[in-house]
Amino acid sequence: MSIDSEVSTAVGVAHPLDPLSAAEISRAVAILKDGPAAADSFRFISVELREPAKELLRAGGDITREADAVLVNRAEGRSYEAIVDLDAGSVDTWTQLAAGIQPPFMLDEFFECEEACRKDPTVIAALAKHGITNIDLVCFEPWSVGYFGEDVNGPRLMRALVFVRDEPDDSPYAHPIENFIVFYDLSAGVVVKVEDAEVIPVPRARGNYLPKYVGPARTDLKPISITQPEGPSFKVTGNHVQWANWTFRVGFTPREGLVLHQLRYQDKGVERPVLNRASLSE
């Protein structure tokens, strides 16, 4: 008997291994905001399915739907992990991580850092020493600072590399401003340091690939056509995929990317388990 039938999963009903739906993510966030993450200074880094153990899936019966959440309280520079019971509407565990442990950056934090760097008087003055006065053409690219001790006491720091364009559509990566790095504290919302070492001339060579720079696309290639007149050889039902003798479930996590579950092979009528779980990062 397959695991799918053991947990009585019908078509159209979420399987225990399916990623959280948008509604489930919203519910997990609401439960945490009604509890330990009520302060406005909390930011949600990730909310994902807490995958049920292999033994629970094999045992069958009802399986509690749970979410793993990672948060950061920017007011105190501390990070937290939580397990949320979506069925009961409760927070099962709430763990404060050690000082200095920082979860991944969020997309809006990248935008925040870039905008703050662009407006900071110290940054503007330092760039002017390099002869760069049009801030609209400057590109700040934030990264993690790594671990060199700067964030050991809790600051959530970003380290912005700096590039400059010759014009709005120019590729900034051809023009790095070497030895120029901006450190931004997300917890305090301020630029805390500008590293401006030996001035190195900004490279002037361009690296643009837009048609207006390199000309129109080539026209000497013959067309290629890929068709399946009888339809595809695979079948997708929700997150479950059947292809030839193979079956598996597709999932995703913020850190690992693609994850395959319960990969099996039909061998002369016998369903053979091959992999219980495999992620793209593996």
> Using one digit for the tens of pLDDT, what is the confidence trace for 216-246?
888 999 999 999 999 999 999 999 999 999 9
Round the average pLDDT of the chain to a whole number and report it: 90
Question: Alpha helices of 165-277 — where are they, by DSSP H?
Answer: 211-214
**Contact present, 82 and 97 (Cβ < 8 Å):** no
Which region, left, alpha or beta, applies to residue 76 given φ > 0 means left and ψ of -120 to 50 means alpha? alpha
Q: Strand, helix or coil at 171?
A: coil
Alpha-helix residue ranges (DSSP H) falling in the chain = 3-6, 22-33, 54-59, 107-119, 121-129, 211-214
In the prediction, which pLDDT does 245 show? 95
Q: Which domains does the chain have, with CATH numbers?
A: 3-96 (3.10.450.40), 107-206 (3.10.450.40), 234-279 (no CATH)
Residue 148: predicted pLDDT? 62
CB 42 within 8 A of CB 71: yes
Average pLDDT over residues 189-204: 92
Rounded-to-5 percentages of helix, strand, coil across the chain: 20, 35, 45
With 50 as the cut, is the pLDDT of residue 119 above it?
Answer: yes
The mean pLDDT value for 8-34 works out to 81
- Compute the distance between CA of residue 129 and CA of residue 83 in angstroms, rounded to an integer: 50
CA–CA gap between residue 71 and residue 214 (Å, rounded): 45
Residue 2: CB atoms within 10 Å = 12
pLDDT tens profile 88-112: 999 999 999 988 788 999 999 999 9
**Nearest of 151, 181, 177 to residue 164 by alpha carbon:** 177
Q: What is the mean pLDDT of residues 110-122?
A: 96
pLDDT of residue 145: 80
Query: What pLDDT does 154 receive?
Result: 64
Mean pLDDT of all residues in 180-209: 92
Whole-number pLDDT of residue 75: 87
pLDDT (tens digit per residue) in 146-180: 766 655 666 788 999 999 999 999 999 999 999 99
